[in-house]
Homo-oligomer: A and B are copies of this chain.
């Protein structure tokens, strides 16, 4: 069975949406990616760092989902990374109210011995040098997927470009793709970004779906139109976890199979936003995922009728 190595934050989030407000709850890119990928019942590990204020029950939750947590360093006397944000009424935009890096400031990732030969590596959104360090500890992975964001483009562009040059797939949102490439058209943006390294470019458009670019081919996965979006936090990470989790499970990195990976990413993300934080992802059944996959199929399927 293929192994999946994930690096990403494991954190506390405090979230406010038009529908309610949470105290500090479980959050972080590594957490969402791990929980999402765990739906494929693969061997996965999360590399991260927390303080000793981090509840054991959260670590248990990850272990109970078959996620190896040896690579999650617990810093004695340290405080866990904390992010607090408030979503606007449209849920598409948010203000960051507070960011406390805490133990993340000095994070030196250590990949567990058992996962140094991981075939699949997911570099969750983090400082590019942390992502690089993880990549350097892994031997000959089959597929490396990078998630990043505009913050690193603004502040550490050269480091980020070094990472980008080493990965197979990059997953960023539409505004970030435009910023990184200097091109407004997403078709042109993907082409420019591909020249920087990644053979596959995934552009996430939130409620508007996601695009997968490879050479001259394009695949589009819609987002499922939902009655209610409750909390978008972690949707992008859940998407990435579903994408790479599916690929690791099927161990097939053809463009055809990546289409399904994108659909599984969208599928899992559509659940994530239905409740606060990781709540929905903690109680997700394979039956629910299967049913929603059929909804995705139905949503765009039509029989070509040439006139």
Contacts and interface: CB of A to CB of B under 8 A. Distances in A.
A304 to B, nearest CB: 5
Chain A residues touching B, range: 35 or more
A100 interface: no
B305 A222 contact: no
A186 B222 CA distance: 14
Contacts of A188: 227
A185 B307 contact: no
A134 interface: no
Interface in A239-296: 246, 249-250, 256-257, 259-260, 263-264, 286, 289-290, 293-294
A304 B297 contact: yes
B218 A225 contact: yes
A23 interface: no
A302 B227 contact: no
A160 B249 CA distance: 53
Interface stretch (A67-75, A103-111, A203-211): A203-211
Interface in A215-242: 218-222, 225-229
B249 A307 contact: yes
A80 to B, nearest CB: 33
Nearest to A218: B225
B300 A185 contact: no
A163 to B, nearest CB: 26
Contact of A222 (B222, B259, B304): B222
Interface string A68-109: 000000000000000000000110000000000000000000
B305 A225 contact: no
Contacts of A155: none
Contact of A184 (B90, B256, B257): B90
A300 B185 CA distance: 19
Contacts of A305: 250, 257, 260
List the 7 closest A-B pairs by CB distance, nearest first.
Answer: A300-B300, A208-B208, A259-B302, A220-B222, A260-B305, A297-B304, A187-B227
Given A211-B225, A300-B300, 18 more contacts: A40-B307, A90-B184, A185-B229, A187-B227, A205-B208, A218-B225, A218-B299, A220-B225, A220-B299, A222-B222, A246-B307, A250-B305, A259-B302, A260-B303, A260-B304, A260-B305, A264-B307, A293-B306
Interface of A: 40, 89-90, 184-188, 205, 208-209, 211, 218-222, 225-229, 246, 249-250, 256-257, 259-260, 263-264, 286, 289-290, 293-294, 297, 299-307
